[in-house]
Copies of this chain bind each other. A is one copy, B any other.
Amino acid sequence: MRLSQTAQDTLCANALRFLAIDAVEAAQSGHPGMPMGMAEIAVALWTRHLKHNPTDPTWPDRDRFILSNGHGSMLHYALLHLSGYDLPLDELKRFRQLHSKTPGHPEYGLTPGIETTTGPLGQGLANAVGMALAEKLLAAEFNRPGHRIVDHHTWVFLGDGCLMEGISHEAASFAGVQRLSKLVALWDDNRISIDGDVAGWFGDDTPARFRAYGWNVIEHVDGHDTDAVDHAIRDARRNARDDTGPTLICCRTTIGRGSPARAGTASVHGAPLGKDEIAATRAALGWDHPPFDIPEEIRNSFDARKTGAARQSAWQAQFDAYAREWPELAAEFTRRVTKRLPVGFRVLADAILRGVHNEAATLASRKASQHAIGRLARALPELLGGSADLTHSNLTDWPGCGAVRADQAGRHINWGVREFGMAAALNGIALHGGYLTFGATFLVFSDYARNAMRMSALMRQRVVYVMTHDSIGLGEDGPTHQPVEHLPSLRQIPNLDVWRPCDAVETQAAWNASVMRADGPSVIACSRQNLPHQARDAERLGDIARGGYVLAEADDGQPAMVLIATGSEVALAMEARARLQADGIATRVVSMPCTAAFDRQAASWRDAVLPPDVPRVAIEAAQPDSWWKYLAGAPRAAVIGIDRFGESAPAGELATLFGMTPERIVDTARRLR
C-alpha cells in the first residue's frame, strides 16, 4: 500500500519527534519541545526545498540552514542523520555524551552539516544575515551572464527567544535595509518560553515589526500542516526571485506537539518527557516503533543523497562551463570559497612589513591600521570590512573600497550602530566563505559584541575585530568611552588573539598575523592618539609575530630590570629606560603586543625574553591584575595599570592623573632594585 503524501509527511514528522524524544530520554537531558513543535516545518523544508548534498557538506552553492533556536539541536541531528549525512544512529544515541558528534547545542566543525554553532539566542539569525550577505556579494562578484554559480538560499529556524533578544532587531533591520531577499526565516510561533505563556512578557506584533524592517511577512501558517508550510516556502522563494527583501514565515505551532500531558506548556521545553509520558505520546501519535528504530520508507523520504548528488553534479557542470569561459574567475572563486590566501601572500606580507618599518612613521595606530587595511586590500580581493557607524573614527575604509548597499556590491559595510549584530554577522560571513572579514567599533563597546566575539573564538573563525580608542588616551569622551577592563578581559576568551600594537610597524604585523591566522579570530586594539615609531633590526621585526620580544636590550646586554609594555605604554617604557640607563640601571624593554601569541612560544623563548632572575615592571593603561602571570618567577615585580574608571579631560592631563608617565615607571623600577 502506498500512503498518501499527507500520511507520509505525518510519519516523517513523527520520526523526527521520536528521535528527539528518545535521544533526550537516553541522555536524561535536553530539549524535546522544539523538535516536536517544528517537526512538520522541518519536513516541508528538508524534503521539498533544501538544496544540499549530504555526501558533500562543503559544496559551495548549498543552501545554508541555521537553527537559531539551537536548544532544539536534536531536530537538526535527526534531519542530518535521516538525510544521509555522516552522522550514524549511534551518534544520536550518544546525544550530549562526551566526545559524541551530537553535543547539547549544535557545534560548527564537530558535526557534518552544522553550519554554525548556536544556543546563545538570536545570534543564529545574525549569522544567517552574514551568510545571506556573503551569498549576495559573492554572486554579484562572480556570476556572469548565463552563469549563476552562486545562487542559494539561507534558511533560519527561530523561536520567541530569538525574537525577544535585541540582536534580532539589529540583524533583521540590517537584512531589510540591505534587501537580503534570499534570507528566509521560519518562526516557531508557539507562544511559550521557558517562564511559560509569553503573553506576560512578549506582546509584540511580530509580523508588523518585521514589515517595518522591510521584510515580506507570510502570516497565519499552520506549522503542523506540511503543505501549508510548503506553500509559504514557495512564496518566500518567489520573493527571493523577485528580490523584494527577506521573508519571515510565521508558523503557528504547539510546543511539544504529541505529548498528551505536556504539549503547549513550558514543561516540555527543556526536560526529558519521562517513560510514562513517552508511552502516552507513542500511543497518541500511533507510533509503535522502538526507540531509534525508523522504518525504511521514512528513511527513504528523507534520504537526500541521490537528489543532492544530482544537484551538485548539475552545478558542477555549470561551474565547469563557467571555468571554460572565465578560467581566472573560476580559479579565484575556488580559492576564495576554500578560504586559502593567494599564493605568495606570506612573502608579500613580510615585504609590506619591512616597507612600513622603513617609513618609520609616527601615527595613531588606528591610522596605521587604516594604512594596513589599504595595503592588504590590494593583495586580498576577499577583504570585506566595515564599522558600526564609526567609519571615520575607527578608520576602516580604504581607497576604492566602495560601500555595500542594497543595490551595490562594494567591500566596505556601514553596519549602523549595531555592534552585536555586526559581530555575529561577521561570523556568518566567515563561515559562509568567499570573504575575509573584519568589523570595527570602539574598544569599550566590545562589551556590546562580546558574546559574538566569543562565538568567533569557539568556532575558530578568521574574523578580525578592529577596536580603536583603546584607553584613557581617548580623552574627553570620558569613562563611558574609556576602556579599562577590556584588554585583559578579552584576553581571557580562549582562542582569541588580542593585539595591542605600539606603533605603525606592530600594527602592520598584527594585521598580517590576523589575516594569516586560519584558525581563530583576532582583535587589533588601536590608539586614538599618535604613537612614535620604534626602530628595530630585521630580526626583531620578525619577532613581533611571537607576541612578545625584546624591543630594546639593556645597553650592556645584561639587564638589571625588565620593563614590559603594550601599545601606547611602550613609548613610555622606552623613555623610562633611557632615564634608568642614565642612572646606571641596565634596562630591557619588552614589547608584548599579543600575550596569546607569546604564550604559544616555547618556554626557551619566553624565558629568554623574560629572564627569571631579573626584576620586572609591567605597564599597561588597563586593569592590571592579569599581568601578574608574566611577573611570576621574577625576584621582584610590580604592575602599573589603571584599576578604576577613567575621567573626562584632555588626554595629557589624564595620563598624569592616572600615572601613565615615564616618571612613575622610573620610580617604580628604582624601588624594585
A residues near B (Cβ < 8 Å) are 27, 29-30, 70, 96-100, 103-105, 107, 117-122, 160-162, 164-170, 173-174, 176-177, 193-196, 198, 200-206, 208-209, 211-214, 387, 389-393, 403, 405, 414-418, 420-421, 444-445, 447-448, 450-451, 454-455, 457-458, 475-481, 484-485, 488-489, 491-495, 623, 625-626, 628-629, 631-632, 637, 643-645, 647-650, 653-654, 657
Contact = CB atoms under 8 A, between A and B. Distances in A.
Given A212-B205, A389-B161, A650 B478 contact: no
B478 A485 contact: no
Contacts of A387: 195
12 contacts: A70-B480, A119-B480, A166-B166, A176-B204, A193-B417, A194-B389, A203-B213, A209-B213, A450-B450, A488-B626, A494-B644, A626-B629
B445 A451 contact: yes
A599 B100 CA distance: 43
B647 A393 contact: no
B632 A625 contact: no
A451 B458 contact: no
Given A98-B647, A476-B27, A447 B445 contact: no
A193 to B, nearest CB: 5
A648 B495 contact: no
A91 to B, nearest CB: 12
Contact of A629 (B98, B494, B628): B628
A194 B451 contact: no
A104 B476 contact: yes
Contacts of A417: 121-122, 160-162, 164-165, 193
Given A166-B421, A200-B405, A489-B488, A414 B478 contact: no
Contacts of A107: 478-480, 648
Contacts of A120: 444-445, 447-448, 480
A648 B77 CA distance: 15
Nearest to A648: B103
A99 B476 CA distance: 11
Nearest to A416: B201
Contacts of A169: 166, 168-169
Contacts of A489: 485, 488-489, 492-493
B195 A177 contact: no
Contacts of A177: 200-204
A527 to B, nearest CB: 17
Contacts of A654: 98
Given A99-B647, A104-B481, A168-B169, 12 more contacts: A97-B650, A120-B448, A173-B202, A176-B204, A195-B414, A198-B416, A208-B212, A212-B212, A448-B451, A458-B479, A488-B489, A628-B629
Contacts of A117: 480
Closest 6 CB pairs of A and B: A166-B166, A489-B489, A103-B648, A169-B169, A119-B480, A98-B649
A168 to B, nearest CB: 7
Residue among A444, A491, A494 facing the most chain B CB atoms (10 A cut-off): A494
B164 A166 contact: no
Contacts of A176: 203-204
Nearest to A201: B416
Given A104-B476, A494-B623, A416 B628 contact: no
A195 B448 CA distance: 19
A608 B64 CA distance: 59
Contact of A166 (B96, B165, B205, B653): B165
B458 A645 contact: yes
B119 A494 contact: no
Contacts of A454: 447, 485
B495 A393 contact: no
A141 B59 CA distance: 62
Contacts of A481: 104-105, 119
A414 B479 contact: no
Contact of A201 (B208, B209, B414, B495): B414
A530 to B, nearest CB: 16
A167 B414 CA distance: 19
A381 B61 CA distance: 60
Contacts of A209: 208-209, 212-213
A118 to B, nearest CB: 7
A125 to B, nearest CB: 11
A206 B173 CA distance: 10
A263 B640 CA distance: 45
A106 to B, nearest CB: 9
Contacts of A211: 205, 208
Contacts of A195: 387, 389-392, 414, 416
Contacts of A170: 164-166
A645 B495 contact: yes
Contacts of A491: 625
A644 B213 CA distance: 39
Contacts of A623: 492, 494
Contacts of A196: 414
